[in-house]
Amino acid sequence: MNMEVLEKPLPKPTAEDYAAARLLEALVEARLALRFLKEGLVRNAAGKAFQAWRAYLAALLRLEMDKLLQAARSEEEKRWLAGKAVPRVPTTRMKALSQLLEEIGHAGVLAWTSVALDLHEYQYNGPDPDLAASMYRSREEAAKDVVLLVAELARRAEALKARVKWSAELEEALSALREELRGG
């Protein structure tokens, strides 16, 4: 898989192929997370796993935009969802966005988003035996969550095959990620 895919400009969030582009980004970032783990770079792997999950959320938010707009409580929330949430997926609002996704039927998204946010924190603070600056006491704890989050992302990405414009590039990225997860 050509990692230069991460350097391509994204389609507009309103475009039909936006979700596929973000899903491809998620799969490539997830694979990089596993590569960093193999090299012993756990904090970097945590950052890549977080970025992968965030890109996955962007894809899911775009796919579910109609349902999210129907569930929105105000016109202001609708404008924010369409104008900010999908294109940016602000870190500070990832839990709230995941709660909305749970409300419309995406069970477990909130729990996995919490893991992704813990890994994001770990990326900056490293292991912390006192759990004051990080939710992980050791590199091994964080590395385990990187693998678990990436495996969940691969499972969920495959479930979206029928909902996005699935390309050979997406199939290749998913296959390469699965291979990495098997230890290849």
pLDDT digits (tens, 9 = 90+) for 62-112: 999 999 999 999 999 999 999 999 889 999 999 999 999 999 999 999 999
- Give the residue among 57, 2, 59, 60 at the shortest CA–CA distance from 32: 2
> How many residues does this entry show for the chain?
184
Residue 178 has pLDDT above 60, yes or no: yes
Residue 4 has pLDDT above 80, yes or no: no
Residues near 53 by beta carbon (within 8 Å), at least 6 away in sequence: 26, 112, 113, 115, 116, 149, 153
pLDDT digits (tens, 9 = 90+) for 5-37: 678 788 888 777 999 999 999 999 999 999 999
pTM: 0.94
Q: Residue 8's pLDDT is what?
A: 79
Q: How confident is the model at residue 2 (pLDDT cuts 50, 70, 90)?
A: low
Q: Residue 3's pLDDT is what?
A: 64
d(C-alpha 132, C-alpha 173), whole Å: 37
Asked if 164 and 22 count as a contact pair (C-beta separation under 8 A), the reply is no
Q: Residue 183's pLDDT is what?
A: 87
Q: How confident is the model at residue 1 (pLDDT cuts 50, 70, 90)?
A: low
Q: Residue 11's pLDDT is what?
A: 85
Residue 41 has pLDDT above 90, yes or no: yes
pLDDT digits (tens, 9 = 90+) for 124-166: 999 999 999 999 999 999 999 999 999 999 999 999 999 999 9
Q: Residue 47's pLDDT is what?
A: 98
